[in-house]
Amino acid sequence: MKKIPVIMDVDTGIDDAVALILAMSSPHIDLKGVTVVAGNQILDKTIYNTLSVVDYFGGGDIPVAKGASKPLVKELYYDAATHGESGLGTAQLPKPAITAHRLDAVDFIKETLENSEEKVTLVPVGPLTNIALLLMCYPHIKEKIDKIVMMGGGAFEGNMNAVCEFNMFVDPEAAQVVFDSGVDIVMCGLDITMKSYTTMEDILRIKATGTKAGEFCAEAFGVYYDRYVNNSRLPGCAVHDAVAVTYLLHPEWIHTERANVKVDIDGTETYGQTVCDMRPNRNRHLDNATVCMDIDREKFIDLLVAACESYK
């Protein structure tokens, strides 16, 4: 398998950290950089967490660039209740020895794409602020984007309210820019990520790898797991962001549908909803996204366990 050139955009975050660990463990991903946005926590914390995760799990030479500290229009809403005060639950990592890149996230992505001979896949797993700014400031860069494989939205459910998912809720205007950009989009929304849950048995398997990645993930999942089990219908915690990385590596495990996806930014009850038209008789010329609907959960968990094991 040829290495896939990738830039991830994260708001680290517990499941963002797992997604980074998965990407950095894979010999099939060429992680050209990681850009950071505010979301699960304020930017100072998401950049610190990202530098810590990238440094500790072996990617010390992967550039990490700091991006937007607030959404395009709304004030920042962050989620300490799910991800903890630090953003990584109760997990602790050593102080990072690396620092943020000299360029900010938008200019870092622009420069990296301009200097790349091949097209690059963007994998944003937080609010889409950085990616929207990139597309608005440098529209010519679209030619260098292979596709955007993102975590966010949902065709049939929300997690902030009945219809709106967290990353869309934090920055709906940015999401609208991205979905209307004409770039090919793969949406890993709640339809698939709520099927990617990790049970206590799975967490014990991850811990039993005995590696620093296994120890970290198991500790980080602690409070996050409790919150899911107490507040959702799942028998475990959803590892949302790792699903976007899994799509890159194993699209054959994932069931998808083409759709026309629009982000509502005018509604009162539907502000931030990803409105997905999948009707067989829709105008298919308007399709702008591949929407991920289902995953082979057992294989997904095996992949996470193998990723942790690889840190031996």
Indicate which residues carry an active-site annotation: 240
Stretch that binds Ca ion, among 50-58, 132-140, 236-244, 289-297 (CB under 5 A): 236-244
For residue 57, the partner it binds in Ca ion, ligand BDR, none, with Cβ less than 5 to 8 A by kind, is: none
Give the tokens for residue 146.
């292979």
Q: Give the residues lining the site for ligand BDR (CB under 6 A).
A: 13, 15-16, 40, 79, 82, 125-126, 151, 159, 165-167, 240-241
Please give the Cα distance from 277 to 68 (Å, whole number): 30
How far lies 81's CA from each of 47, 223, 249, 305, in Å?
19, 9, 31, 26
Q: Are 51 and 64 in contact (CB under 8 A)?
A: yes
The CA radius of gyration of the chain, in Å to the nearest whole number, is 18
Query: Does 16 engage in binding with Ca ion (CB under 5 A)?
Result: yes
Query: Does 126 engage in binding with Ca ion (CB under 5 A)?
Result: yes
Biggest distance spanned by C-alpha atoms of the chain:
55
Give the nearer residue to ligand BDR in terms of CB position, either 19 or 65. 19
Give the nearer residue to Ca ion in terms of CB position, either 185 or 205. 185
Q: Which residue is nearest to ligand BDR (CB)?
A: 166
Strand runs (DSSP E) across the chain, as ranges? 4-10, 29-36, 64-66, 120-124, 145-151, 185-188, 197-198, 237-238, 254-263, 274-277, 289-295
Query: Does 125 engage in binding with Ca ion (CB under 5 A)?
Result: yes
Place of tokens 């089990």: 229
For residue 165, the partner it binds in ligand BDR, Ca ion, none, with Cβ less than 5 to 8 A by kind, is: ligand BDR
Please give the Cα distance from 223 to 228 (Å, whole number): 9
Output DSSP code: residue 30.
Answer: E
Give the nearer residue to ligand BDR in terms of CB position, either 13 or 89. 13
Give the nearer residue to ligand BDR in terms of CB position, either 33 or 153. 153
Rounded-to-10 torsion of CA 100, 106, 107, 108:
50
Please give the Cα distance from 193 to 295 (Å, whole number): 8
CB of 29 to ligand BDR, least distance (A): 18
Give the nearer residue to Ca ion in terms of CB position, either 16 or 55. 16
Determine phi and psi for 109, rounding to 5 degrees.
-65, -45
Query: Does 13 engage in binding with Ca ion (CB under 5 A)?
Result: yes
CB of 74 to ligand BDR, least distance (A): 15
For residue 130, the partner it binds in ligand BDR, Ca ion, none, with Cβ less than 5 to 8 A by kind, is: none
Query: Does 8 engage in binding with Ca ion (CB under 5 A)?
Result: no
CB of 25 to Ca ion, least distance (A): 18
Residues forming the site for Ca ion (CB under 5 A): 11, 13, 16, 125-126, 241
